Amino acid sequence: MIKMVVTDIDGTIYSEKNGLKNNVKACMQNLIKNGIHVAIATGRTYASAKYVADEIGIECPLICYQGGLINTYDGKILDVKYLPQDIARKIVAELRDRNIHMNVYIEDVLYVENDNDYIKAYVGNKGIDYFKVNSFDDLSFSKLNKILAIDNNPQLIEDLIKELQTKYPEIYVVKSTDIFCEIANKEATKGNAIKFLANKLGFTEKEVLAIGDQNNDIEMVETAGIGVAMGNGTEEIKAKANYITDTVDNEGFVKAINKFVWGKENV
């Protein structure tokens, strides 16, 4: 029996083309009404994740920064894992030298050195603010949630991820979109977040359905009792999932819930 549904946002319930469809919102609201826990798991900040929960019309735990921060809906911190300062400083210096754009998140606040098209496109509709600083070197990294490297060249991002994974095996480096390289604490994964929440709520991860579309969703798809990949997902996550549903634009989330929670086959 499914006791909790954990879902990614972008590409899973939120479509770049269609936003959040009413059927998806109603589906998530119905899960909660029927006593099934719902959690949102994202690379986004708490403020941005809450913005989405408010748009859906639900109050639920929010797994942010892949699992680096787990908050209650009203902002109480349940668990937090920071990126080691020494490694973070090295990575910032390396990426700066290579002119790769960085978002740096400290205590759930987004900072940039360059107020450019990358950051403007990133914050566009995510319900978050950002602050420009002259240099990240002037900031304390004692409570650094994550670093996000962004570049419009997918091959550069692919190569960067492999390079950082090899050079810094003691941290978590993963692709969340073709142009996003996520850099965080080694334990800051959505899979670990599922284990944490399930234990806190009194059941096991095997009673969880998790659904996502990108490589940063792989750990939670592997951890959950039922792991679902979106039809628009990467080949890597599809290879790890128990089931591949329809695309985000065809309401694949709703179809997966109908099948595995309500036992209904979709027409």
Q: How confident is the model at residue 176 (pLDDT cuts 50, 70, 90)?
A: very high
- Per-residue pLDDT tens over the stretch 58-83: 999 999 999 999 999 999 999 999 99
Q: Span 83-88, mean pLDDT? A: 96
Residue with tokens 């592997």: 222
Residue 8 to residue 1: CA distance in whole angstroms: 21
Please say whether the beta carbons of 196 and 78 come within 8 A: yes
Q: Taking all residues of the chain, what is their mean pLDDT, rounded to a whole number?
A: 95
Residue 211 to residue 40: CA distance in whole angstroms: 10
- Per-residue pLDDT tens over the stretch 108-163: 999 999 999 999 999 876 667 899 999 999 999 999 999 999 999 999 999 999 99
* pLDDT above 90: percentage of residues in the chain: 94
The pLDDT value given to residue 266: 61
Residue 116 to residue 123: CA distance in whole angstroms: 11
Residue 216's H or E segment, with its range, is: none
- Same fold for the domain at 4-80+188-260 and the one at 85-185? no
**CATH architecture of the domain covering 4-80+188-260:** 3-Layer(aba) Sandwich (3.40)
What does DSSP assign to residue 217?
G
Residue 65 to residue 40: CA distance in whole angstroms: 11
Please say whether the beta carbons of 224 and 197 come within 8 A: no
The pLDDT value given to residue 267: 46
42 contacts: CB under 8 Å, gap ≥ 6: 8, 9, 10, 48, 49, 52, 62, 63, 64, 66
What does DSSP assign to residue 83?
P
Q: Domain locations in the chain?
A: 4-80+188-260, 85-185
- Per-residue pLDDT tens over the stretch 195-230: 999 999 999 999 999 999 999 999 999 999 999 999
The pLDDT value given to residue 215: 96
Residue 141 to residue 71: CA distance in whole angstroms: 21
Least confident of 10-19, 96-105, 122-131: 122-131
The pLDDT value given to residue 33: 97
244 contacts: CB under 8 Å, gap ≥ 6: 228, 229, 230, 231, 233, 238
The CATH code that applies to domain 85-185 is 3.30.1240.10
Residue with tokens 């403007």: 120
Q: How far apart are the first and last CA of the chain?
A: 23
Beta bridge partners of residue 10, listed in sequence order: 14
Residue 155 to residue 11: CA distance in whole angstroms: 20
Angle between helix axes 46-56 and 22-33 (nearest 10 degrees) is 90
Residue 237 to residue 221: CA distance in whole angstroms: 8
- Per-residue pLDDT tens over the stretch 228-244: 999 999 999 999 999 99
Give the β-pairing of 62-64 and 69-71: antiparallel
